[in-house]
Amino acid sequence: MLNKLPLVLLALLRATPAAAATSYDLIESHKGASFFDGWTFAQGYDNTTNGDVVWANSSKVAYVNGQGKAILKVDNSTEVPYNEKRESIKLYSNNYYRPGTVWVFDASHVPVGCSVWPAVFTQGTNWPEHGEIDIFEVVNNDQMNQYALHTTAGCVASPGSGGQTGTQGFAECDQNQNSGSGCTVRDVDTASAGKGFNDAQGGVYVAAFETDGIRIWFFTRSKIPSALTADATTIDLDSLGTPSARYNAGQGGCDIEKFSGSQRLTLDITLCGDFAGSPTILQQTCPALVTPQTCYTTYVLKPESYADAWFEINYLNVYGTSGSIDPALSVNGGQGGISSSASSSRPTTSSAIGSGTSTARTTSTTTGNAGNALPTQTVSSASRVKYWFGGAGWAVGLAVVVLAS
């Protein structure tokens, strides 16, 4: 079939970021005073997972501390009046990334506590058609991270002979099965999330998004490979050992290019909602709710519930090639992020705010919720892109080329 493709397409295929690369160069670095450059703050309510938060961008939820670390937190200084939501934070990367991208996330503290639901994940423009990769996700007082992909039907988790150190949960990535859990892998390290993570001074997550598969590694602080530093200008995936979670692209696995569009990175902390607030999930690591109290009335109204509900981030680096950033989908054609050499602040554009894809981290169907009211019919790639860009026609031509490749 390949030899029937026009030459121009073959050229495009060759130009696609290589699947076989094991080493990638630093293309973006978020740390210190410029950490918040290159992101867009979400606004409004959590209309994707029904959390009891309102997304904010004040110093109550986002700042750089005295040690130059970025703090992303739930507001823990406000008594919330009944029926109102608590302020928290959700950041979207201004850039969308193609396969051939590696995200490295180093934190010394992650949010923990009853009702708390932090996540570091990626999604394509249209959900679940364009996929979701959950890199870090945990609820309440759990101490073991859960990895997942969320896709349409046809993608199955297959760690293959390369293996993974995590425990396989559901193998089926189809969002329409297993109550929307996606294909899950649970880390076996009790320092991979929650109090265990924080007691160990945190650690590093490395997520590699490549055409031949998706791999995610976790290293607790004391076991971080010496080459993995904030200033490292390259990353060699071959040196990292067996990943915690592995989703191979091969036979019986998941065709990454078919099930994942370019991905946008998201960091957020929501409260209660479809996953953390489910009474059965909640009582796995927190006291059972006392009728008629709910997750919201028990926790959200009180600031003291959130003394530990914060991320402290040392750095977030992105490694890849010149083809990693998708100009058609990224804010300002890919100039909305920061380059590894640029450190100047740039104004945050708001054009990506509210292009809210539905997140998958639901355990129940949220019928009637606006966050899931996305068009699911198959339309042409061009009109899908156009839909998400609210008619930014200039993006369409480029997107078609990207999708065709």
Ligand X SMILES: *[C@@H]1O[C@H](CO)[C@@H](O)[C@H](O)[C@H]1NC(C)=O
Nearer to ligand X by C-beta: 166 or 356?
Answer: 356
Helix, coil or strand: residue 257: helix
Choosing from 3, 6, 292, 304, the residue that interacts with ligand X (CB under 6 A) is 304
Is 348 among the residues that bind ligand X (CB under 6 A)?
yes
CA dist 120 → 6, 112, 146, 264 (Å):
39, 14, 11, 11
Taking residues 56 to 75 in sequence order and writing x for each that binds ligand X by CB under 6 A, - otherwise, the string is -x------------------
Minimal distance in Å, beta carbon 30 to ligand X? 14
Q: What is the total residue count of the chain?
A: 405
Contact 342, 336 (CB under 8 A): no
Is 371 among the residues that bind ligand X (CB under 6 A)?
yes
Contact 261, 130 (CB under 8 A): yes
Residues 6+ apart with CB under 8 A from 229: none
Minimal distance in Å, beta carbon 286 to ligand X? 18
Is 370 among the residues that bind ligand X (CB under 6 A)?
yes
User: For the range 339-348, what are the long-range contacts, defined as Cβ-Cβ under 8 Å and sequence gap of 24 or more?
Assistant: 339/27, 339/28, 340/26, 340/27, 340/28, 340/29, 340/233, 343/34, 344/34, 345/34, 345/37, 346/37, 346/38, 348/36, 348/37, 348/39, 348/40, 348/41
Which residue reads 């899931």 in tokens?
A: 372
Helix, coil or strand: residue 372: helix
Is 303 among the residues that bind ligand X (CB under 6 A)?
yes
Nearer to ligand X by C-beta: 62 or 286?
Answer: 62
Is 92 among the residues that bind ligand X (CB under 6 A)?
no
Which residue reads 């019928």 in tokens?
A: 367
Minimal distance in Å, beta carbon 335 to ligand X? 17
Contact 35, 63 (CB under 8 A): no
Is 377 among the residues that bind ligand X (CB under 6 A)?
no
Does 137 participate in catalysis according to the annotation?
A: yes
Nearer to ligand X by C-beta: 227 or 307?
Answer: 307
Q: Which of residues 104-123 bind ligand X (CB under 6 A)?
A: none
Minimal distance in Å, beta carbon 202 to ligand X? 15
Q: Which of 28, 132, 172, 210 is catalytic?
A: 132
Is 307 among the residues that bind ligand X (CB under 6 A)?
yes
Distance CA 204, CA 69 (A): 14
Minimal distance in Å, beta carbon 404 to ligand X? 28
Q: Which stretch binds ligand X (CB under 6 A): 111-119, 198-206, 241-249, 370-378?
A: 370-378
Q: Which stretch binds ligand X (CB under 6 A): 135-143, 235-243, 258-266, 369-377?
A: 369-377
Is 270 among the residues that bind ligand X (CB under 6 A)?
no
Does 28 participate in catalysis according to the annotation?
A: no
Contact 256, 213 (CB under 8 A): yes
Size of the site for ligand X (CB under 6 A): 16
Nearer to ligand X by C-beta: 197 or 218?
Answer: 197
Burial of 362 (0-12, 13-18, 19+ CB in 10 A): buried
Q: Which of residues 15-54 bind ligand X (CB under 6 A)?
A: 41, 43-44, 47
Distance CA 330, CA 358 (A): 18
Minimal distance in Å, beta carbon 193 to ligand X? 17
Nearer to ligand X by C-beta: 288 or 373?
Answer: 373
Minimal distance in Å, beta carbon 42 to ligand X? 7
For binding to ligand X (CB under 6 A), which residues are involved? 41, 43-44, 47, 57, 76-77, 303-304, 307, 348, 354, 356, 370-371, 373
List the catalytic residues.
Answer: 132, 137
